[in-house]
Structures are given as structure tokens and as C-alpha cells.
Structure 1
């Protein structure tokens, strides 16, 4: 059985048996609640889909952006990564009434510091929570019951690396993106929200819980990104990559993705791509896109489909 068969089986089940539901975007979905996939990461294995092209460098650049703690799309669009642009673009169009194209909007983000600061920020999304979870201290001088936010919050990723090194048997190797107090400030609350890690026999395994799962477009990126992060953490803690366990909550396909689903399910997976990290940086935050090489990835052609915003 090819590792990708479980993904295709999940897609087939959702499209055939999923419950039809309305959704936030107004597009409509077919959904199941609760799903699991497991992918071996032994011997360099990496869960890249082969029945369509997954632009893994885009996913890797996004992961590096998360780890930087940045929440502005400017560094992404400068690298021609467009996956976060639709949310601030929609906000800009609604606020100004200007029917600006995505290309023109991104050009202004890159060229104009003030415009990028005002319109490119996504709020305290993923990376902000990962490396700068807010902490508040009592400020009695300002009045009873008032608190002051620390200049620097909790770096969950740095603490995770330390715990994996110093206490590998811990059951607390977790980082979290779902900060209830700040959800309303985020352009999009985290979908891949909770990561837990497990060390056994010198191997590092990641369990990812994803609350909302766009199976056609999002999940292929999410499983690669989680596997990539596991490789990076394993390298930094002198462990071998073990397994990626993906758990999905609301697992869905959008109704307007029928052509993608039909085409992808007609294809047969093949090949066994592998990931190589060619350099060991000094810390988890110092990786560069050039550090990652994927070998033997020969996917079938890309399948386009609209993103529901």
C-alpha cells in the first residue's frame, strides 16, 4: 500500500458519504468529523502527494515564516508566496471599495512600508503564538485588577526544543496556537492548532491535531509542513524522525472542488520522495530554504481549484 492511498481513501469517503453543510465562506462543504492518517518518516520518507504536484518550497517558506514569529505577509509575497494574501486583500477591498488586483496589492505591500504595516498584517496568527505567546503581569500601581503585557512572551518552540533535549520522556512536549483571548484579532484562527511530540527508541514522532481541514488544498501542505518541522526538531535534538500522525476534526471538501476531486481520484500514486536537510543550523530558528532538498519527487500535474476565503 502506498502511503498516499490513505489520503485518497479519505477524499473518496468524504465526497461519497460526507454530510453536506453550510460553512463560513458560503461555499458549502461535504464533511466528516474525525479522521487519522499516519506517515512514516523513517529513512528520509516525506509525505508529499504524488497524484498532484504539491509546491513544497512554498510550504517550507511558510513554515520558516511561522518560526520567525512574523505576522505580516510582506516577507511571503517578497518570495512569491501568495497563500496568505487573500485575507488582507479582501479586508482592504471591503474597507476602501477599491477593486484592486492581487498583483497590484502585493506590489504595494512590497514597495510601501506604511501600506504593508497597515494592510499586510494578519493579527496574532500562528507564528506569534508559537514564539511569543503573550504573558501578563499584575500592575497594582495602575489599579487593582489591572495587568501589563510583558514585552516578550513565551517562546513555545524554544521551550519545546529544550524539553525534548533535557526531558525526552515528558508527556508535555506540546505547543499550541489556539489562544482564545486573541482569536478575534486573527485574520484566520489556526487550523493546525495543536502539536504534540513523543520520543521513543531515539525517534521523534509528531501528532498534529487540525481542527479544520480543507482536504483538497490545505491538508497536502499541512502534512508536509508538520513532517518538515519534525525533521528540523529531530535534527536539533539529535533524534531520528519517527512518524507523523495527523488527526483531523472537521474534515471537509468544498462543493466547488468537484473537478479536482474527480481528477485526483482517477490517478494512481507512485514514487517515494525523500527529504534531506543539508545543513545543521545553530538553532531551530536559523534554517533557510536552501537547507531543504527533496529527492525523487516526480508528481503528476498540478490540479487548480479556488480557495474559499
Structure 2
């Protein structure tokens, strides 16, 4: 059992889930499924000694979340590279668009197979628009020409800029990666949920610790948040390694924090479980840049979670 005097770090996640389910405001949402929602929440996780916010009360597929993070860092916006790795988390959005626009009542499984096998089909139907990675590493800029028109300029690599600024000016309050590009929201399959990352350096020299604050405007606590916590902590660990710092604390802040009404079975099952163990992450090498990590660079130790709990994704 978790000790309330010294609770397991995961207990704060379970407490948040219980609070939303018991006291959240019931609302009709964009998907039509319905949610219970609260305004504002905060979770904090110490990342020292390899610690990671990897849930143990159900299995979280951390390799899937890691592959997604590495995909973000490429700036890619087409699901095909993920599909070829067996990552399914973005498939529903382009499938729904294809069914709507083409009128073909194709199953999700058959659609994904076509994405994998037909590169031209994937190019036409597998793109998500300028989502996360595009904004992170290629934020668009425009130049005003002499003839009075605008032309596209060189994209801004926010991730590279933050790595550089952490090295050159660790005390800055501008170590920010922003995904909320207002001008391009209507072109995205889904506007960014985990939208703003801010990094903060505590201490100096060999004692420097890198903290990360993530603001998430919209959070599906049952299905999305376990991935979001892992991914943000992973990015923090990678940033820390690249800048010669120790990982500090992950501070997660949510805006509209909700549970879907059709996830009741998952919520009931998970709240009846107790967290156990303390998983850690080993990064086996230090690549030349933050863009050169590979899935085999990451190894999780001491992860013995309870079984997964399946629930539908609201699209």
C-alpha cells in the first residue's frame, strides 16, 4: 500500500483522476462523447537518478511514446514513418478525414495497410498538417518583398535554439518551445494539446539541474496524460544530456483536464490498483545532437506494471 506520509510519485496522478471523476463538471465536448472536466491542475516529478513518471498501475507503452517523440524531432507530419514502426496513435485522424472526403467506407485497419504499402497514397492521405514537429523544428517565417508580396523565409528550429540558449545563457527566461501557431491551427489535424515547454536551469556548473515546465491546454487524463508525462520527461532527459546538466524536475500543468465518460471502466479499474516500483531510464549513448537519438538508445529498468486497460480514443 502507498504511504500517505511518503506517497508514491504516481499517487498524485491517481488522485487527479479521482478528483476529476468525482467532482468534475460534466460537459459536451468537441468529440460528442462527453467528459468530466476541471480547470487547472499541476503534477510534479523529480527526475533525479534516472527516475521517470512511468505509470505502474497500468502498462504504458513507453517505446511507442519514445518513437513519437523522435518523430516530432524530425519535423515530419506524415504518419507513414510511425505506421512502418507499428505506432498507431495518430491513425484515427487521417482515417476519419479520408472516409469523410473520399466517401469510401474503409476500415481503419485497411486504411493503415494502404498507408504502409502505398507511398503515394500515404503522401496524399497520411499527412496531419503542420502539427507538433513542424512547429518545433521548422516554425514558418515570411519576408516582405519589394513588389509588396510576401514569400516564405527560413523556418525556425526552436529545439536547436533552446539547446544553444541553455548552453550559452542558462539563466535566461526564454528557453521555450511553442507549438501553438495561431496562423496554422486550422490546417492541423489536431491543434497541439501539449503546447508550451519551458526549461529552467537550477544551480551552476557541475551542479546545474534542468527543470521542464509543460503547459497542456487540453488533457485526456486516462489515455493521453500517461504518454505526455513520459514524453516530456524524456525530452527533458535528452536536453539535459545534450547541455551537460543533470535532470531536475518535471512540472506538468493542465488547462482543461478531463476524463471521457466512456472511460468509466478504465477509471474504476485503475483507481482500484496500487502503484509499485520505481522505473528508471538509461540513455545508453550521447549522440552528437538532440536530433540524432534512436529508439535503441533508451533502456528502462525495473518496470513491472500491472496489465494495460484498453479504452476507445475520442477523435
Q: Fold conserved (TM > 0.5)?
A: yes
The answer for unaligned runs of 5 or more in structure 2 is 1-6
| Alignment match, 1:191 | 193
Q: SS in structure 1 opposite 2:71?
A: helix
1:269-288 C-alpha deviation (Å, 9 max, x unpaired): 00000000001000000000
**How far 1:56 sits from its partner (Å)?**
0.2
Task: Output the CA distance in 2 between the equivalents of 1:219 and 1:159.
Answer: 27
- The equivalent position to 1:129 in structure 2, one of 123, 135, 138, is 135
Residue 269 of structure 2 is aligned to residue 263 of structure 1: yes
CA distance in structure 1 between the aligned counterparts of 2:11 and 2:159, rounded to whole angstroms: 32
Q: 1:227 aligns with which of 218, 224, 233?
A: 233
Q: How does 1:41-80 map to 2 (within 5 A)?
A: 41-80=47-86
Match of 1:149 among 139, 152, 158: 152
Q: 1:96 Cα deviation (Å)? A: 1.6
> How far apart, in 2, do the equivalents of 1:49 and 1:20 lie?
26
Partner of 1:279: 285
- Normalized against structure 2, the TM-score is what? 0.96
Aligned partner of 2:168 in structure 1 is 166
Report how far residue 128 of structure 1 moved: 0.1
Runs (4+) off by over 3 Å: none
User: Unaligned 5+ residue runs, structure 1?
Assistant: none
Query: Partners in 2 of 1:55 and 1:111 — Cα distance?
Result: 25
Partner of 2:113: 107
- Offset at residue 148 of structure 1 (A): 0.6
SS at match of 1:140: coil
SS in 1 for 2:251: strand
Deviation at 1:99, TM superposition (A): 1.7
Q: CA deviation at 1:113?
A: 1.7
Residues in 1 aligned to 2:280 and 2:120: alpha-carbon distance in whole angstroms = 42
Further displaced range: 102-111 or 222-231: 102-111
TM superposition shift of 1:140:
2.0
Q: What is the Cα deviation at residue 111 of structure 1?
A: 1.5
Offset, 1:93? 0.7
Task: Quote how far apart the aligned CAs of 1:112 are.
Answer: 1.3
1:38 aligns with 2:44: yes
Please give the alpha-carbon distance, in whole angstroms, between the structure 1 residues aligned to 2:236 and 2:12. Answer: 20
1:101-121 CA deviation, whole Å, 9 max, x = no partner?
A: 222111111221210111000
Give a deviation string over 1:240-271, Cα, whole Å, max 9, x none: 00010000000000000000000000000000
Out of 179, 184, 204, which is 1:182 matched to? 184
TM-score (structure 1 length as normaliser)? 0.98
Alignment of 1:247-262 (within 5 A): 247-262=253-268
Find the counterpart in structure 1 of residue 146 from structure 2.
140
2:105, 2:231 → 1: CA distance?
33
Q: How many residues align?
A: 305
Superposed CA RMSD: 0.6
